[in-house]
């Protein structure tokens, strides 16, 4: 996928929830493993859906990961924990603070292949930093679509549902969850409460 060069690079896998970001990340890691490359996988402390130390997809596949702080200087733990690995994978990038951008840039400058996965929009359909910033800086970006749960068209948005009703625009940005709180929706079917 990448010409052999001295430098590393950043790959971002983004899109709505349920679009297959984690499955795609795990597919790339399996291929890197077959190629005999050393891999380190990281996830933020905030995301506790699949147990402490695994990156898991909605379809049930998983990979062992190190759990690192999601904010401030603690994010540099990703770089500090490395021991000569070729490939660094980071899942749920949307839960990290802006420091993740500097960490990914430093790793790529140090010759690493950095594979980052995270949703690019909040439930308000606004940019979910730092993912959009990483998409701008990356060498490779894949934006995946799920299937809209209402109309069956490609879904680019994250519908948050609280007790089955659309979330309010003023609700907090962070709410860890899956099917119980979120649906994949297209632009036309995505809604927000504003009353
Ligand atoms: N609305 C949907 N559209 C597409 N896939 C869905 C949907 N709801 C559940 N899935 C399941 O989710 C899987 C993708 O899971 P995952 O890789 O964890 O997605 P992401 O990391 O993007 O949230 C699909 O292969 C499918 O089995
Ligand atoms: C839209 C949105 C999502 N989240 C949370 C919900 C999940 O825990 C993750 C996304 O997981 P996935 O692997 O992409 O399925 O992010 C949030 O906290 N706030 C939001 O607005
Ligand atoms: Zn739709």
**Domains of the chain, first to last:** 9-144 (3.40.50.300)
> Which atom of ligand 1 approaches the CA of 149 most closely?
1
Residue 83 has a pLDDT of 96
Q: Examine the predicted complex and report whether its ipTM is higher than 0.95.
A: yes
Residue 78, pLDDT above cutoff 70 = yes
The stretch 76-96 carries a mean pLDDT of 97
pTM: 0.96
Contact predicate 186/155, CB 8 Å: yes
How far apart are alpha carbons 84 and 89 in whole angstroms?
Answer: 14
| Per-residue model confidence (pLDDT) at position 53 | 84
The predicted structure's pLDDT at residue 58: 83
Q: What three-state secondary structure class fits 45? A: coil
pLDDT score recorded for residue 46: 82
Residues 6+ apart with CB under 8 A from 109: 7, 8
The whole-angstrom separation of Cα 101 and Cα 117 is: 13
Q: State residue 1's pLDDT score.
A: 55
DSSP conformation class of 178: S
The residues lining ligand 2, judged by C-beta closer than 6 Å to any ligand atom, are 17, 21-22, 47, 92, 94, 119, 122-123, 158, 173-177, 182
Backbone CA torsion sign across 151, 155, 156, 161? positive
Mean pLDDT for the stretch of residues 55-63 = 84
**The predicted structure's pLDDT at residue 76:** 98
Percent of the chain at pLDDT > 70 equals 94
Mean pLDDT value of segment 47-58: 74
Q: Of the bound ligands, which one is closest to the alpha carbon of residue 189?
A: 3
79 annotated ligand-binding residue = no
Q: Binning pLDDT at 50, 70 and 90, where does residue 126 land?
A: very high
């Amino acid at each position: 996928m990448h010409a052999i060069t001295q430098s590393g690079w950043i790959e971002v896998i983004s899109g709505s929830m349920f679009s297959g970001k984690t499955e795609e990340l795990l597919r790339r890691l399996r291929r890197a493993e077959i190629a005999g490359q050393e891999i380190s996988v990281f996830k933020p402390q905030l995301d506790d859906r699949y147990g402490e130390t695994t990156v898991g997809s909605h379809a049930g596949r998983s990979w062992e990961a190190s759990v690192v702080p999601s904010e401030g200087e603690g994010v540099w733990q990703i770089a500090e924990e490395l021991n000569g690995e070729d490939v660094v994978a980071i899942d749920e990038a949307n839960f990290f603070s802006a420091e993740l951008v500097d960490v990914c840039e430093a790793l790529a400058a140090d010759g690493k292949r950095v594979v980052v996965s995270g949703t690019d929009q909040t439930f308000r359909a606004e940019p979910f930093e730092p993912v959009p910033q990483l998409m701008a800086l990356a060498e490779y970006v894949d934006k995946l679509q799920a299937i809209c749960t209402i109309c069956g068209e490609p879904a680019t948005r994250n519908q948050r549902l609280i007790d089955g009703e659309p979330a309010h625009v003023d609700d907090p940005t962070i709410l860890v969850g899956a099917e119980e709180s979120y649906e994949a929706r297209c632009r036309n079917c995505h809604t927000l409460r504003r009353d």
